[in-house]
Amino acid sequence: MKQRRRIYYSESQKALMWERWRKGESLQHIAQLFNRNHSSVQGILAQTGGIQPAPRRRSRLALTLAEREEISRGLVAGDSIQSIARRLSRSPSTICRELKRNSGQAGYRASQADQLAWDRSLRPKVCKLVEHRMLAHIVADKLQLQWSPQQIAGWLKRAWPRNEDYHVSHETIYRSLFIQARGALKKELLEHLRRTRAMRRSRHHTQKTDDHGRIRDTVSISERPAAVEDRAVPGHWEGDLLCGSSGSQIATLVERQTRYVMLVKIASKDSESVVNALIKHAGKLPQELYKSLTWDRGSEMADHKRFTIATDIAVYFCDPKHPWQRGSNENTNGLLRQYFPKGIDLSVYSQAKLNAVARRLNERPRKTLDYETPAERFHRTIASTG
């Protein structure tokens, strides 16, 4: 089979790639626009880690192409450097430097000189994490604790509120990880991000949803009290199962106001086993801190009435294919995949190990909590109710 010739993308084609990538389209879908394989597009986007480079702009002080053309015409006409400089309202030394730097073997050509100047003017701004190595070490240490770049940036502002030398944006941290040419953070630290990817992915990237089945006598989330919806009072939880291989799973619970996480070992996915484990776990919390539970429509909660009778905890169910109605739990399940990747057997983890992982999440500062940790908020809540 005849091999297709290598394609060179124009700047407008690259701009279209970046536009579609920001919208969350897949590499394969973008590549179809150019009748190419996804690896062709990936090669372009991966050069900067999936982060679109900022558009380059010429300095207002730099010579323009029109000025260079005037220089070229003046030289052909035999004009002196001083007379060319006067016509352009430039210093003669500016014209001298231009001729010295950007003349080719065939003499001075305006278009060639303009391109040479443009290529030479590329000056990447030195990353703050390169200039301040102590800050880079602090960031690296927190990444190794599985803190997100946003959590690190928020925590730094709290820890050093008046010292901007220790402030860095989460975007700078991401760029330093995904663009290795910066030389700020080691590539190995990518392994500590929530989702280990070679490139930064758009926030609009599509996520799959799944409706697990139908349950009888459910109470819809629309009937949940308004105080639960606006997170005004503590004690209202969101739950789901995180599934692994061979039918293994763990229950994940998140308190809506404080984002406090608890993990529960489940022996089997059948409704009786799940409800038994949740009933046993509910007894570990004061009743004031466990008033309701919002779940999706998975069949594992078919026995929800028995759970409510045993615990006096109301259970509300999301609408079909509306996982964002328990967004705190969905987000937490995504974070947990850093510790429990898809396809592994979750049954090998003891309850003690699950508690340790939950503690890791609860001791991370959260942007939504003004960079306090869920543990701080939750324990303050316990103290106030006690």
pLDDT tens string 234-283: 999 999 999 998 889 999 999 999 999 999 999 888 889 999 999 999 98
Closest CA to 379 of 258, 249, 264, 228: 258
Whether the Cβ atoms of residue 102 and residue 113 lie closer than 8 Å to each other: yes
Q: Helix, strand, or coil here: 272?
A: helix
Q: What is the predicted pLDDT for the residue at 210? A: 42
Q: Helix or strand or coil: residue 315? A: strand
What span, in angstroms and rounded, lies between the C-alpha atoms of 6 and 8? 7
Question: Which three-class secondary structure state does DSSP give residue 279?
Answer: helix
SS3 35: coil
Scanning 185-343, the segments in alpha helix (DSSP H) are: 226-229, 271-282, 304-311, 327-336
> What's the residue count for the chain?
386
Q: Are 213 and 296 a contacting pair, CB within 8 Å?
A: no
The model's pTM:
0.55
> Percentage helix, strand, coil, to 5, in the chain?
50, 10, 40
- pLDDT at position 208, please? 41
142-155 tens-digit pLDDT: 999 989 899 999 99
In single-letter form, the type of residue at position 329 comes to N
Task: Please count the CA atoms within 13 angstroms of the CA of 9 that sit on its side-chain side.
Answer: 20
Cα–Cα dist 151/143, whole Å: 10
Angle between helices 110-120 and 65-76 (to 10 degrees): 140
For the chain, list residues with pLDDT below 50.
1-2, 206-213
| Separation between Cα atoms, residue 199 and residue 178, nearest integer Å | 6
Pairing of strands 314-317, 261-265: unpaired
Instruction: Please return the burial class of 258, using the count of CB atoms within 10 Å of its CB with bins 0-12, 13-18 and 19+.
Output: buried
Give the pLDDT score at 196.
63
Give the separation between CA 163 and CA 165, rounded to whole angstroms. Answer: 5
Q: Which two tokens stand for residue 5?
A: 């010739």
- Taking residue 353's Cβ as centre, other Cβ atoms within 10 Å add up to 13
CB 292 within 8 A of CB 314: yes
Q: Residue 186's CB: how many other CB atoms inside 10 A?
A: 13
CB atoms within 10 A of CB 122: 7
Burial class (CB in 10 A: 0-12, 13-18, 19+), 63: buried
Cα–Cα distance for residue pair 159/307, rounded to 1 Å: 43
Distance CA 322, CA 338 (A): 24
What's residue 39's pLDDT? Answer: 80
**Burial of 157 from C-beta contacts in 10 A (0-12 / 13-18 / 19+):** middle
Task: With beta carbons less than 8 A apart as the criterion, state whether 113 and 68 touch.
Answer: yes
In eight-state DSSP terms, residue 23 is T
- Rounded Cα distance, 103 and 350, in Å: 72
**Tokens 């995949």 map to which residue?**
337
Q: Cβ(351)–Cβ(358) under 8 Å?
A: no
